[in-house]
Amino acid sequence: MASLEVVRSELADPHKDTRLNLSAVLEGGSLTPEQRWGTAVACAFAARNERLKEAILNEAKQALGDKATPVIEDARAAASLMAMNNVFYRFRHMVGKESYATKRAGLRMNRLAQVLTNKVDFELVCLAVSAINGCEMCIQSHEKVVLEGGLSEDHVHDAVRIASVIHAAAVGLES
């Protein structure tokens, strides 16, 4: 089992900033531990680097203890749903034709309504994954729900910082 510290040490000197940022974004800030680690786990799945994913999962389990299972399961669901939705809705937005916007999506998304943690945290995690996947429509939609659900722009900012650094770490580990 890879630890996050071992994975960080695998980031070569050209990735020194990412190595330092990987520790910094996972400490403190406005997010609760559940929000922080849920975001980190989902983003590690979205970044698709096996070593990084394993290390983040191990760290999340250790940090969250008894609360880890529902947070991790929601994170996995968010990563999977956003892999689908971000492609679909990014296509609709990029094509820009009204005819596609009026068509029924026909994509099952029941898990969005059946979260194990809470709806607002799940939406925050979906927002972070959508940032990695580059879907403007999904980012705007999830950000609106998160803010209306009582979280602040600081929460959004911190979640997207985690997403950006995890994505950078995955790129650094592959290069």
Q: Is 135 an annotated catalytic residue?
A: yes
Catalytic option among 41, 138, 165, 169: 138
Q: How far apart are alpha carbons 155 and 153 in whole angstroms?
A: 5
Q: How far apart are alpha carbons 40 and 57 in whole angstroms?
A: 9
> CB neighbours (10 Å) of residue 171?
14
Q: Is 43 an annotated catalytic residue?
A: no
Catalytic option among 26, 135, 139, 166: 135
Write out the DSSP string of 31-73: S-HHHHHHHHHHHHHHHT-HHHHHHHHHHHHHHHGGGHHHHHH
Q: Residue 122, SS3?
A: helix
Instruction: Show which residues are catalytic.
Output: 135, 138
